[in-house]
A and B are shown apart, each in its own frame.
Chain A
Amino acid sequence: MPGRKPLKPGPVLVFLAFLVLGASFVFPFLYMFLNAFKSTPEYYKSTFKLPEHYNWANFATMVSQFRIQVNMLNSLFISMSAVLLTTAVGMLAAYVFAKRPFRKSHAVYLVIIFSMFMPNQVTLIPLYFLYSKLGLINTPFAVIICSLAAGIPACIMLLTAYFKGIPDEICEAAILDGCGFFGIIRNVIFPLGKPAIAVNATFVFLRTWNDFLTPLVLLTKRETQTVVVALSALVSRYQSDPPYQMAGLTIATIPAIVMYLFLQKYLVEGVNAGSIK
């Protein structure tokens, strides 16, 4: 038979290895989702079977009894605010570092980048006491500012690198057209820097949404907590009812997964661009 190549075993094995590894990533989430539909007796009797009925009672309980929607809204508000603030503050600084360097500006840049890996455990102790003196414990503001401080260095690193690639001529033309500092940012830097700004916004959103330690310490009242922190209350409250736990975990996971479906291209490329985690 001319033109037909024999099937090599190599690629087939690789593909199978991919499938097995892939299954290990899908299975826990699928397990979580499917068991969220079961009753507790059914869960213990047939853990690995598909649910007999797909009833949404457990999810409804999360809303009516645990009021998880309050925590979801808290998470959403805190994450969105962190994204907006980090983008605004980071963009201003990154524009200066990339396009308006002054004497010693590189030194300032390096110090900012160095602060990227300062562990939150260290800064949280004094901040907790500072916030409680100011009466800011149990307010979203406390968490938003912490998230902003933690997010600025990576944001500046990513945006500065990207803004440097914007041609100087465009900025100069904008100046000739009478643009001031903010005019250039609005008409040149923001529109041309959008891809990097989107990558950074995605990272900040996910990191703030998923962050655990900072909101755990700063938000002690259930109705002020983010959903990830509320999960620890949920898991201990429903200790003997795993299906309820699964329903709560599923609800808390869904926003991140939806976001990933839409923005995964940015995320995966962002890892290579700034090596951010």
Chain B
Amino acid sequence: MTDRKRKELTISLLGIAPAVLVLLVFRAYPIGSVIWNSLTNWDGLFKHDFIGLRNYLRIFRTDYFWKTLANCFIMFINVPIQIVIGLVVSMLLYEKTPGWRFFRSLYYLPQIVSAVIVGYLFAIFFSYDGPVNELLRFAGAPKLAIEWLGRRPTAIGVVITALIWINIGWQGVLMLGGLSSINPSVFESAKMDGANFFQRTFYILLPMIGRVIEYSFIYSVAWTFTGLFPFIYSITNGGPGYDTTTLDFLVYQKAFREDSALGEACALAVILLAIVSVLTLFQRRLSDRANSWSE
């Protein structure tokens, strides 16, 4: 290697050095530390001894872990629903109905507001004296005016509604991008050949944006594992009991609200990390394919 080339390489390396350094210290080191600490009885103060897999074994024997995991899987209901609604919205936007740009911006609005603010709005709306119950009483159905956030099924229902509501716009915009990359002449010639709306939808549109749907599906599933914290915190606070606690909320709960359970919190964090890593690998493969396909 000539001196000039070596100098150029050094400059390149210096260019990526800040990014790599930040990621090493603030991403790689903490992840390594979490994995190591999950194998100890760390309590944040005195104890810090290696205890092997005992944290994991203890977690797997608790009821709240399985209940939390079950909650995560119940929350998944939001994914297919938001995808279907998002798809319908994108198809309607694609038809370029008058005002479609305005509606597109409007539907995206919840995405730019903090999830906590949306969560608090939902909590206020579904509180016992809140507007939803007020409406129900006004509509002559006072029996339906219940403590929405006080029981597991309705509380989970409220959270899922919030998740769908906040994501419809994102799904719509994403799918619209997929639709826009389809050559319109395909639809034109199908129309000429007499294909009706449903035939066009099921035989042309869905297969052609299948990759976008796959991508969005995996992304949303991963998001359901990691992004629910602000919603749970503001709407139900995980309660009653562990009834609406999700895995990401549980990690916070164990690490920052209950002292002396840090080893266990780290083990929970590693479980969460493992789930998300697998999903991310899937997603990267899919989005690579989606990219090469859309070019």
Task: List chain A positions with a Cβ less than 8 A from chain B.
Answer: 11, 14-15, 17-18, 21-22, 24-26, 28-29, 31-32, 44, 47-48, 88-90, 92-93, 95-97, 100, 102, 105, 108, 112-130, 145-146, 148-149, 152-153, 156, 181, 206, 209-213, 216-217, 228, 231-232, 235, 242, 245-246, 249, 252-253, 256-257, 259-260, 264, 267-268, 271-272, 275, 277
| Contact B23–A112 (Cβ < 8 Å) | yes
A37: min CB distance to chain B, Å: 16
Inter-chain contacts of A125 with B (CB < 8 A): 30, 33-34, 37, 251, 255, 262, 265-266, 269
11 other contacts beyond A122-B272, A209-B114, A232-B233, with CB at 8 A cut-off?
Answer: A25-B106, A25-B110, A47-B131, A117-B283, A121-B229, A121-B269, A126-B34, A127-B30, A149-B25, A152-B19, A271-B177
Known: A25-B110, A148-B22, A249-B121. A92 touches B15 (CB 8 A): yes
Selected interface stretch from B63-71, B152-160, B184-192, B215-223? B215-223
* Smallest Cβ-Cβ distance to B231: which chain A residue: A212
| Contact B112–A28 (Cβ < 8 Å) | no
- Lowest 10 CB-CB distances: which A-B pairs, in order? A272-B177, A210-B114, A149-B26, A123-B30, A126-B33, A119-B226, A93-B19, A96-B15, A126-B30, A212-B230
Inter-chain contacts of B168 with A (CB < 8 A): 21
Inter-chain contacts of B176 with A (CB < 8 A): 272
Q: Is the interface of A mostly helix, strand, loop or mixed?
A: helix
B288: min CB distance to chain A, Å: 10
Task: List chain B positions with a Cβ less than 8 A from chain A.
Answer: 8-9, 11-13, 15-16, 18-20, 22-23, 25-31, 33-34, 37, 44, 89, 92, 95, 97-100, 103-117, 120-121, 123-125, 129, 131, 134-135, 165, 168-170, 173-174, 176-177, 215, 219, 222-223, 225-226, 229-230, 233-234, 248, 251-252, 255-256, 262, 265-266, 269-270, 272-273, 276, 279-280, 283-284, 287
Inter-chain contacts of A232 with B (CB < 8 A): 116, 233-234
A110: min CB distance to chain B, Å: 8
Known: A14-B95, A121-B252, A123-B30. A47 touches B134 (CB 8 A): yes
Known: A210-B115, A253-B113. A18 touches B30 (CB 8 A): no
Inter-chain contacts of A128 with B (CB < 8 A): 255-256
Known: A96-B16, A122-B273, A268-B173. A260 touches B248 (CB 8 A): no
- Partner pick for A100 among B12, B111, B120, B252, CB 8 A cutoff: B12
| Contact A22–B106 (Cβ < 8 Å) | yes
| Contact B174–A25 (Cβ < 8 Å) | no
Q: Is the interface of B mostly helix, strand, loop or mixed?
A: helix
25 of the cross-chain contacts (CB-CB < 8 Å) are: A18-B100, A18-B103, A47-B134, A89-B22, A92-B15, A100-B8, A105-B12, A108-B16, A115-B28, A117-B283, A121-B248, A122-B34, A125-B34, A125-B269, A127-B26, A210-B112, A231-B117, A249-B117, A249-B120, A260-B112, A267-B112, A268-B173, A272-B176, A275-B215, A277-B111
Inter-chain contacts of A11 with B (CB < 8 A): 95, 97-98
Known: A123-B30, A267-B112, A268-B104. A181 touches B284 (CB 8 A): no
CA of A275 to CA of B111 in the docked complex: distance in angstroms?
Answer: 13
CA of A121 to CA of B219 in the docked complex: distance in angstroms?
Answer: 18
Inter-chain contacts of A249 with B (CB < 8 A): 117, 120-121
CA of A77 to CA of B150 in the docked complex: distance in angstroms?
Answer: 38
| Contact B229–A257 (Cβ < 8 Å) | no
| Contact A253–B19 (Cβ < 8 Å) | no
Inter-chain contacts of A267 with B (CB < 8 A): 108, 112
Known: A115-B27, A152-B19. A271 touches B174 (CB 8 A): yes
B19: min CB distance to chain A, Å: 4
| Contact B18–A228 (Cβ < 8 Å) | no
